[in-house]
Amino acid sequence: MHLYIKNMVCNRCILVVKQELEKLNIESRTVSLGEVETENELPKETVEQLAHNLASLGFELLDNSKQQLIEKIKNIVINQVHHSEEASNHNFSEVLSNALHKDYSYLSSLFSEVEGVTIEKYIINQKIEKVKELIIYDELSLSEIAYKLNYSSVAHLSNQFKKVTGLTPSHFKKVGEQKRKPLDKV
């Protein structure tokens, strides 16, 4: 049985969901961002209890296929931006279409309809959050950050950063941590 869970954005989320599954004695094959595959079909009561437990932790069990597809899109973007070590030269439109076996124009219009923001804007917001994280860590130069996140130039990154945050990257570095957002709030 496949279960789809909204707001899973990191490895700690996976750990928390695994713990909730164990509490309810639910055997899982896999637990990944936004998705759980169980060994067996679950009784309705168990699914409802899991949904309740997850909701108390800030997660949401999805039952609508459109919502599940939106969550898959978000998880692919988050994986590409936040958890991929190498710079990707692929367009997100190609990555999403190939991974979900759907036409990008369909994915884009569905995402905009349900989320009220375009996929492109969502990707930009995720990339800016990653830039904030990397600036705060202070391990990479702005040029290295631009390369890592597949920006065409430091100027492009800086312009986009200022457009989204209202701050230049150097000013953000001074004000720091209080301006970052949790990934599920982006």
Q: What is the DSSP letter of 59?
A: -
**What's the pLDDT at 42?**
93
Token representation of residue 106 = 């369909």
Q: What is the DSSP letter of 180?
A: -
Distance of CA 46 to the CA centre of its chain: 27
Name the CATH topology of 2-63: Alpha-Beta Plaits (3.30.70)
* CA-based end-to-end distance of the chain: 29
Phi, psi of 36 (to 5 degrees): -130, 135
Asked if residue 88 has pLDDT above 80, the reply is no
**What's the pLDDT at 180?**
63
Whole-angstrom Cα distance, residue 172 to residue 166? 9
What does the domain layout of the chain look like in residue ranges?
A: 2-63, 67-185
Q: Mean pLDDT across the chain, nearest whole number?
A: 90
pLDDT-derived band at 26 (thresholds 50, 70, 90) equals: very high
Which pLDDT tens digit goes with each residue over 92-150?
999 999 999 999 999 999 999 989 999 999 999 999 999 999 999 889 999 999 999 99
Using a 10 angstrom Cβ sphere, with 0-12 exposed, 13-18 middle and 19 or more buried, the burial of residue 164 is middle
pLDDT-derived band at 86 (thresholds 50, 70, 90) equals: low
Q: What is the DSSP letter of 57?
A: T
Q: Which residues contact 91 (CB under 8 A, 6 or more apart)?
A: none
**Radius of gyration for the chain, computed over Cα atoms and rounded to the nearest angstrom:** 18
**What's the pLDDT at 177?**
58
CATH of domain 67-185: 1.10.10.60
